[in-house]
Structure 1
Amino acid sequence: MSERCVGLVVSAGDVTVVDTQVPADSEVPVSIVMDTNWKLPTGDRQHGYDILHQQCVSYLKEQKVERVFVKASALPQGSSAKLSLLEGAELRGVIMAAAASVCTTKVIAKATISRAYKRKVDDCIKDDSFWDEQVEGGTLRKGSREAAMLVVSQRGRK
C-alpha cells in the first residue's frame, strides 16, 4: 500500500511543496503528485503567516496527507545571521505547527540525509540520473528536488 507524503522547504518568503505518493515497495519510484510554491502574501507578515497556516492545514487535510517532512533550520556558513534567516525560521515554525496539527510531521537536517546516503545532499540534488531512478509521474522542478529529497530519504522509515 502506498503512503501520501509531502516535503516542505521553507524560506523567508515562500514554501516549496512537493506532494508525493510513496509506494510500499522501495524498488518502485516515488510518484510526484504536485510541485509548487506557496508564497507569503505581501504586507503584514503576521497576517501572511495566518494565511499560509490555513493554506497548509487545508491542503494537507483535503489531500489526506499522512506524513510531512520539513527541512530543518541551518546556519549559513561563514556569515552572521541576517533578518531573512530569522524570518525564515518564523515561517518554518508556522508551517511546522500547521502540518503537525494534521498529520505526522518530522523535521530533517540535510546533514542527517547526507550521512544516510554517504554523499552530500547537494550532490544528490544535482544528479539527474539519481532523480530518474527515484521519481516518476508529475513534473519535479530542479529547484524542488531538495523538498523531494526529504521524502525520498525517509522511505521505509517510521
Structure 2
Amino acid sequence: MSERVVGVVASGDAVIVVDADVPNEGAITIVADATFKLQKGDRAGAYQLMHQRIADYVREKKIKRAVIKASAVSQAGKPTLAHFQSAELRGVAMSALHHGGANVDIRSKANISKTFGERKADEYVKDDDFWDESITGKDLRGGSREAALLILASRDK
C-alpha cells in the first residue's frame, strides 16, 4: 500500500513542493514537482496568499502527510534578513500544510545525515545514480532533490 506525501523546502521567496506516491519500499513515484513563488509587494498579503495556495493544494490532492525542511543555523553564525524571511515563509508553509489536513513532520538535513543511509544528505542530493534508482514518474528538477529526500528519509517515520 502507498500514501501521498509532499516534501517541502521553503527558502527566500519560494516554496518547493514535491508530491509523491510513496510505497512501503522501493522507488517513490513523483506526481508533481512545483515551485510556489511568493507574490511581490505587501509581505503580509503575500503570506496569506501562499498559505491559501498550499492549504488548497494539500486539501485538493488529499495529502495526508507532509515533510518540511527545518530551519538551520547559518554557517557564518550570524543570521541575515534573508534567513529570517525564509523562516517566516517556512512557518507559513507549516501552518498551511496542517490547515490543509496533512500531518506535518519537520526534518533537518543534519537529522537526515545521521539517520538515513550511510552518507550525508548533500551527498545524496548530488548523486544522479541514487536518484535514478529512487524515483519514477515525472522528472524531478535538480533543485527539488532536497524536498524528495525529505520524503525518502521519512518513509519509516
Match of 1:51 among 37, 40, 49: 49
Give the aligned partner of residue 113 of structure 2: 114
Please provide the CA RMSD for this pair. Answer: 0.9
Give the aligned partner of residue 14 of structure 1: 14
Give the aligned partner of residue 38 of structure 1: 36
Report percent identity of matched pairs: 44
Give the aligned partner of residue 146 of structure 1: 146
Q: Aligned partners of 1:78, 1:43: CA distance in 2, in Å?
A: 29
Give the aligned partner of residue 98 of structure 1: 96
The one-letter code of the counterpart of 2:35 is N
Give the aligned partner of residue 156 of structure 1: 156
Give, in angstroms, the shift of residue 133 of structure 1.
1.1
Secondary structure in 2 aligned to 1:65?
coil
Secondary structure in 2 aligned to 1:129?
helix
- With structure 1 as the length reference, what TM-score do the two structures score? 0.95
- Structure 1 residues 48 and 130, CA, compared in 2 at 3 Å: closer, same or farther? same
Q: Aligned partners of 1:121, 1:7: CA distance in 2, in Å?
A: 14
Q: Which segments of structure 1 move beyond 3 Å, counting only runs of 4 or more?
A: none
Q: Aligned partners of 2:108, 2:32: CA distance in 1, in Å?
A: 23
Match of 1:66 among 64, 75, 83: 64
Which blocks of at least 5 consecutive residues in structure 1 are unaligned? Answer: none
Once the two structures are superposed, the pairs formed by residues 122-141 of structure 1 within 5 Å of their partners are 122-141=122-141
Q: Deviations over 1:109-142 (max 9, x none)?
A: 1011001123111100000111111100101001
Q: Aligned partners of 1:48, 1:106: CA distance in 2, in Å?
A: 24
Which blocks of at least 5 consecutive residues in structure 2 are unaligned? Answer: none
Secondary structure in 2 aligned to 1:95?
helix
Q: Aligned partners of 2:136, 2:102: CA distance in 1, in Å?
A: 24
Q: Aligned partners of 1:41, 1:16: CA distance in 2, in Å?
A: 15
Q: Is 1:86 aligned with 2:78?
A: no
Q: Deviations over 1:11-34 (max 9, x none)?
A: 12000110000012x1x2100000
Give, in angstroms, the shift of residue 74 of structure 1.
0.5
